[in-house]
Amino acid sequence: MRAAPTILHLDMDAFYASAEQASKPSLRGKAVIVGGLGPRGVVATASYEARRFGVHSAMPMGQARRLAPNAAYLVPRFGLYRDISEQVMALLKELSPLVEPLSLDEAFVDLEAGEVAWDTASALAVGEKLRADIRAVTGLTGSVGLAASKMLAKIASEEAKPDGLRLIVPGTERELLADKSVRILPGVGPATGDHLRRAGITTVGEIAEAGADELVRLLGKAHGGHLYTMALAVDERPVVAERETKSVSVEDTFDVDIHDRVRVRSEVDRLAERCVGRLRAGGHSGRTVVLKVRRYDFSTLTRSETLRGPTDDPAVVREAAARLLESVDTTGGVRLLGVGVSGLADYTQEDLFAQAQAAEAELAAAASAADSGPDSGDGGVEDEGALVAEVDEVGEVAPVERRWYAGHDVRHAEFGPGWVQGSGVGRVTVRFETPGSGPGRVRTFRVDDPLLSPGEPLPLVGAAE
């Protein structure tokens, strides 16, 4: 254990919801809930105003709507959140070469390794400056914990929420932990907590009093021994700058089970494209393609195929996922699909055979189109905000309604930037406001209004009006 509180833990406050409030002036100070809005959706983040109603992360969205029926319910904008996260992580990397991100909105920093803090006073100064810099750069707030270990720094940041700083003075850790619930320790979830409660252990101090032998008897050698050490406030885990990425995957849960095999194949193709996008963004390639299918009865099947070498070619991943799909019975309906790539490497071994096949298929399709006239479409669902095409009874392509997601950005040729407040029955309601404006005016349009188009998020700080 260190003699100074030079490990910092940063946790952004209600990150997704706070980002939405910052970008939408009309939602500031109001209950905002971000997550999947379908009947099977779950809450990703709830603003502090929504938490007063009992809404919390991972709660089923249906339950959240019952608790907070008047809250604003928004679909996540992960592109915006990633951009903000990059700004925050850049600030952390200015403090130290040892930054360990845990998620988009959370990270550990070893201040000693960056030679920016060496005692209590210097650590406090760094923490306060970091909070101010985050607010200046992103317009959002984060809570900071400072301690001599990772476990204590994380506990401190949780106690500092929202928008605060908490420093745990070295030497006071055991006294601080003694009266706290066992659930505060890493690795103690509901099941372990209940097991300890049945043994009469409900606080961290009682774990320490029980002794190592009793904890090992209750929870096993590895888990029990580790928990006893944590209860003594001993945590020697270092801050690790780089975590090895083992796999990249994406998945979607559908509001209504998919029964149409063509639609299932279309969704798998779309997920494969998204997966490769993430793969390339991380500078990786992979050699094992994995397909995940959760069927109507909640049974979950996974299939995998190992390629001849690493690839980041979307056509190769798409075709491999399609082959895996052929071995899965989906006739009863599909509620979730996922595509992943594992066996990651930093180089690619181009699959020339697959590329040749793809090129041949494209030439054949082009020749067929030239012979038969206009394209007939494939009935697939395109990306969000795009116009989808369906084939009608006489073989002509007919446009159908665009999909406008609550909370997502739009731009109107006359009224400028805004965001979708809601849509349905052929109409979409848009509130026209920007991060730097006051609450904006609401207008309603047809979903196919040619003057309305998907927009890009505006920066939260210094946005143009």
Exposure string of 404-438, with b = 16+ CB inside 10 Å and e = fewer, is bbbbbbbbbeebbbbbbbbbeeeebbbbbbbbbee
CA gap 144, 148 in Å, rounded: 14
Is 432 within 8 Å of 440 (Cβ atoms)? yes
CA atoms of 415 and 427, how far apart (whole Å): 17
Measure the CA–CA gap between 412 and 189, rounded to whole angstroms: 48
Check 49, 100, 106, 267 and give the catalytic one.
106
In 3D space, the residue among 254, 380, 257 whose CA is nearest the CA of residue 330 turns out to be 257
CA torsion sign, 115 to 119 to 125 to 129?
Answer: positive
Backbone phi and psi for residue 45, each to the nearest 5 degrees, phi listed first: -150, 140
User: Do 286 and 258 contact (CB within 8 A), yes or no?
Assistant: no
Q: Which residues contact 332 (CB under 8 A, 6 or more apart)?
A: 259, 295, 296, 297
CA 370 – CA 378 distance, rounded (Å):
17
CA angle 288, 332, 295 (to 5 degrees): 40
The residue with tokens 């067929």 is: 368
Give the angle 71-459-101 at the CA atoms, nearest 5°: 80
H-type helices in 68-177, by residue range?
Answer: 78-95, 120-138, 150-160, 173-177
Whether 401 sits among the annotated catalytic residues: the reply is no
DSSP state of 183: G
**Residues labelled as active-site residues:** 106
